[in-house]
Chain A
Amino acid sequence: MAFIQMNFYSDALKFSTDVNIILPTPSDVDAKGGEPYFEEGAKYQVLYLLHGTYADHHDWTRLSSIERYAQEAKVMVVLPSGENSFWQDMYIGPNYFTYITEELPRFIRTIFPVSTAREDTFIGGLSMGAFGALNAAVRCPEKYAAAICLSGGMSAFRSLPATEEELAAGPWPFKAILPPPYDGKGTGMDDIPIIQKLAASGQPVPRLYFAVGTEDFVYGNVVKTRAFLDEVGIPYTYEEGPGVHNWTFWDEYIQHGLKWLGLRGTTLR
């Protein structure tokens, strides 16, 4: 297993940013005697995995066993850093949406042996990252085969601030993320019309997986997200189980999500 901590200049962000990368390789234990470790021409399936609020690119490796699950599934995992931006191109601030959906994949494809096919490209995340993953999947349905959304759903049902108090409270800099009057209308976070348009377009929609703990404070938002997807006729897989908004839940359900992706379990040639 290779674990790569990388820093590179991002033109979308206009600063150098950290990315952690998990690249499945045969361990000494896995390797059969004499077989070469690294296959020329291998192409990995790749999962872009987004962190939640309060976090950075280290969170998934620090608080879950994602490397072990990625090794078992033989999928490359890319862990970017996005501040508390909701993974948006901020009104005042860095362009995180452009970064994770355009620049970072292009960069990864340039320097790592990954498949460029939509069917081999996935996005996922937890909480704010679940929102980011869903947001990327519905705004760029041509780029992703599937999205894993743990403990999060549509921004329209959770994140958009309605009052001055909500704008002031919490860790999200909505006055930097969104243009005035900060209600998100017409922006990338305004996902009701985006999803309605996608459903009506007949375009292939990425497969969607949602999981949420029954005691999680975002449970109601996921209920609303599901109801909306039912209404517009977008299929999804849904799981719930006992749990709250924490890493015990995410460590377990990222494993479910990886299984649900139906990965090939090999590096592709």
Chain B
Amino acid sequence: MSFFEGTIYSKTLHMDTQLGVILPQDSRPHHEGALMPGLAPRRVPKTLILLHGLTDSASVWWRRTSIERYAELYDIAVIMPEVYKSYYQNMQYGENYFDYIADELPQLCKNLFNVSIAPEDLMIAGLSMGGYGALRCAFTYPERYYCCGAFSAGCDVKAVRDRQATGSGPARGFEKTVPAIFGEKVDIPDESDIYWLADHLKDKEKKVRLYMTCGRQDGLYPANQRLKEQLEHCDLEEFHYEDWDGVHEWGYWDVAVQRFLATFVK
């Protein structure tokens, strides 16, 4: 496998932005992937866009998990973008991070790297705030993604707003970010509301394949349970939900991303 960290220019964001990229390459000895012959042409890999959480940055997935090994096992490319604390929104006072992730990033990656972003090959997943981001992308544009993974998703963006606006909780300082994202009135538009989007999945022609999990001792467990119960009555192509004991930490997501890949990538 090959691994890159670098900077790309985003037209949507009007600035340079960080990107981590894992691309399939003929394996070195003693790695789990099958050894490929020399420099033989290989198939164009499927692509997983992997999103970070609120207090993270683009580097968090490869730093806190063994994502490269799992990518190697399934012979896929992994794209890890940076969205700061935007909550994957088109910010009122800030940049259009949702458009960057949903519209620009896949095409940018296709232009820069030999990867497939065809609807049967493009996957999106994330943890916490990134789980929200993955759900929002997949529920807004089901026709663009093969599947979606939401790990301990901060799916209830209204609750996140209400809690963070008070400046309490783990993400102190977010009270300044909330109005920047949503405006002074802090209204959450319907198209940012995962529960609203879930209700409207029935209107979409293409149906979503979703893997969802949340640790049973995670503070976000009730919000995820609520979404899970709602999604059981929504029209999904595939809905895989499971949970086990765990809190809001990287050991859980290191397992979750492997379970997600095992569910959808063969």
A52 to B32, CA, bound (A): 15
Known A62-B3, A63-B68, A68-B64: A247·B32 in contact at CB below 8 Å: yes
Q: Is the CB of B66 within 8 A of A251?
A: yes
Q: Is B18 an interface residue (CB 8 A)?
A: no
- Give the contact stretch, choosing among A25-33, A90-98, A136-144: A25-33
Which B residues lie within 8 Å of A246 (CB)? 30-32
Mark each residue of chain B from 19 to 60: 1 if its CB lies under 8 Å from any CB of chain A, else 0: 000000000111110000000000000000000000100010
Known A28-B172, A245-B30, A247-B69: A61·B55 in contact at CB below 8 Å: no
Q: Closest approach, in angstroms, between the C-beta of A178 and any C-beta of chain B? A: 22
SS of B interface (majority): loop
B47-97: which residues lie under 8 A (CB-CB) from chain A? 55, 59, 62-66, 68-69
Q: Closest approach, in angstroms, between the C-beta of A106 and any C-beta of chain B? A: 27
Mark A residues whose CB is within 8 Å of B: 1, 3, 27-29, 33, 52, 54-55, 58, 61-65, 67-68, 127, 244-248, 251
Known A28-B55, A58-B3, A62-B3: A248·B32 in contact at CB below 8 Å: yes
Indicate which residue in B29, B31, B170 contacts A247 across the interface (CB closer than 8 Å).
Answer: B31
Q: Closest approach, in angstroms, between the C-beta of A235 and any C-beta of chain B? A: 30
A67 to B66, CA, bound (A): 10
Q: Is B254 an interface residue (CB 8 A)?
A: yes
Q: Is the CB of A65 within 8 A of B69?
A: no
Indicate which residue in A58, A65, A251 contacts B64 across the interface (CB closer than 8 Å).
Answer: A65
A143 to B254, CA, bound (A): 35
Q: Closest approach, in angstroms, between the C-beta of B152 and any C-beta of chain A? A: 13
A65 to B32, CA, bound (A): 16
Residue on B with the closest CB to A127?
Answer: B30
Mark B residues whose CB is within 8 Å of A: 3, 28-32, 55, 59, 62-66, 68-69, 170-172, 248, 250-251, 254
Which A residues lie within 8 Å of B3 (CB)? 58, 62
Q: Is the CB of A65 within 8 A of B30?
A: no
Q: Closest approach, in angstroms, between the C-beta of B67 and any C-beta of chain A? A: 9
- Most chain B beta-carbon neighbours within 10 Å: one of A1, A28, A127: A28
- Most chain B beta-carbon neighbours within 10 Å: one of A33, A55, A63, A251: A63
Indicate which residue in B29, B68, B251 contacts A62 across the interface (CB closer than 8 Å).
Answer: B68
Which A residues lie within 8 Å of B65 (CB)? 65, 68
- Further contacts, 15 of them, CB under 8 A, given A3-B63, A54-B30, A61-B62: A29-B170, A29-B248, A63-B68, A65-B251, A67-B63, A68-B65, A68-B250, A68-B254, A127-B30, A244-B30, A246-B31, A247-B66, A247-B69, A248-B69, A251-B66
Between-chain CB contacts (< 8 Å), 10 pairs: A1-B63, A29-B170, A61-B63, A63-B31, A63-B68, A63-B69, A67-B63, A127-B30, A244-B30, A248-B32
Q: Closest approach, in angstroms, between the C-beta of A224 and any C-beta of chain B? A: 21
A87 to B137, CA, bound (A): 48
Q: Is the CB of B254 within 8 A of A28?
A: no
Q: Closest approach, in angstroms, between the C-beta of B70 and any C-beta of chain A? A: 10
Residue on A with the closest CB to B22?
Answer: A62
- Most chain A beta-carbon neighbours within 10 Å: one of B30, B63, B254: B30
Residue on B with the closest CB to A126?
Answer: B30
